[in-house]
Amino acid sequence: MRLATLRDGTPDGALALVSADGTRALPVGGNLLTAMADWPATEATLKAAAARLDAGEGVSTDDVDFAAPLPRTWQWLDGSAFTTHGDLMAIAFKHDPHEGDRPLMYQGLSDRFYGPADPVPFPAMEHGIDFEGEFGVIVDAVPMGTSAVDALGHIRLIVQINDWSLRAIAPVEMKTGFGWVQAKPACSMAPFAITPDELGDAWADGRVGLDLIIDWNGKQVGRANGAAMAFGFHELVAHAALTRDLVAGTVIGSGTVSNANYAEVGSSCISEIRAIEIIAHGAPQTPFMAFGDTVKMIAVDAAGRAPFGMIDQDVVKA
């Protein structure tokens, strides 16, 4: 199933089912945040509504305004599960590479997620505006101490995310040892949250095996594949739940999608591009984003289908 949230003037929007071809949306009542708290009942309701959608009910998606699938939620935890990204960031930020067998993860801003076509405001270009393409999962209630094997069953939905970053602020906050605040503004989500079965064989071992195509100002800069995670999403969920329950509706991110063959597939963020330039030329050559820049992100399978829809956003001055 493909789920979406339609803007209706309320903070959490209206939950809708979306047809397989992405052309029709059928409102089903309630909102996704509330629905996650009782997923078995929600799933039964959605399956019943799916028959109506298949029969032709619903409105054209051209006539609706999509919010993020979760316009706000209780908790956003972002991992950094791609080894290549971590190694390149160590070069970009001049710090030692991460070592050990524990995933990297931080708790970020969850009181809002930008919709897929929302303009995104920033106070100043000198803060180093950067996009970060990644995947994420939405879980139901996860008990403390849940194993990675059992965590797979708690992953109810998969989403596509742009995790915005302010790179000039990041090194300052990293040095404090206290984590991100200013360097990590609100993220964006693609319009559709999907159940894992929608991915077929592309959902394997807790990983999303799709290419994430990223265009910056009309030029493709990345097409990395999400299967290269050093830790699967089930392992990230188990890591987060080691010492606490995870409330239903928690979103957990993969971190920036990155592949070892970056010379062929490119990068999912500008900071990686700059790190590669440091390796090749001794200094970065690509600037960060400017007001008026655009970024598009779309994950595609082998047949060219885009199960999450597209993020297509402009950077604007706050």
State whether the Cα torsion 115-121-122-123 is positive or negative. negative
Name 137's Cβ contacts closer than 8 Å, sequence gap at least 6: 155, 156, 157, 158, 159, 233, 237, 251, 252
> How far apart, in whole angstroms, are the C-alpha atoms of residue 216 and residue 131?
9
pLDDT band at residue 312, thresholds of 50, 70 and 90? very high
Task: Report the C-alpha gap between 70 and 99 in whole angstroms.
Answer: 33
Specify the 3-state DSSP secondary structure of 113.
strand
Q: Which residue has the higher pLDDT, 120 or 97?
A: 120
Residue 58 has which token pair? 């619903």
What pLDDT shows up at residue 61?
Answer: 95
At 176 the pLDDT is 83
* pLDDT recorded at residue 174: 80
State the pLDDT at residue 100.
67
CATH superfamily of 73-317: Fumarylacetoacetase-like, C-terminal domain (3.90.850.10)
The mean pLDDT value for 125-148 works out to 98
Mean pLDDT of 307-316: 98
Instruction: Return the minimum-mean-pLDDT range out of 2-16, 91-105, 193-207, 300-314.
Output: 91-105
Q: How many CB atoms lie within 10 A of CB 296?
A: 18
pLDDT of 284 above 80: yes
Residue 102 predicted with pLDDT over 70: yes
Interval 27-55 mean pLDDT: 94
- Look at residue 177 in the predicted model and tell me its pLDDT: 79
* Residue 299 confidence class, pLDDT cut points 50, 70, 90: very high
Tens of pLDDT, residue by residue over 237-276, are 999 999 999 999 999 999 999 999 999 999 999 999 999 9
Taking CB atoms within 8 Å and a gap of at least 24, the contacts of 283-286 are 284/92
Predicted local distance difference test score (pLDDT) of residue 179: 80
Can you name the residues that pair with 14 across neighbouring β-strands? 6
Record the tokens describing residue 243, joined without a space: 């010492």
Residue 99 has pLDDT above 90, yes or no: no
Tokens linked to 236: 């990230």
pLDDT digits over 107-119, tens only? 999 999 999 999 9
> In this predicted structure, what is the pLDDT of residue 79?
95
Residue 197: what pLDDT? 96
Measured between alpha carbons, how far is residue 273 from residues 111, 151, 221, 309 in Å? 30, 34, 9, 25
pTM of the model: 0.96
* CA 218, 182, 175, 126 torsion-angle sign: positive
93 has a pLDDT exceeding 70: no
Domain segments of the chain as ranges: 1-67, 73-317
CB atoms within 10 A of CB 245: 13
Residue 97's pLDDT is 65
In this prediction, residues 193-222 reach a mean pLDDT of 98
Which pLDDT does position 89 carry in this prediction? 78
Mean pLDDT of the chain: 94
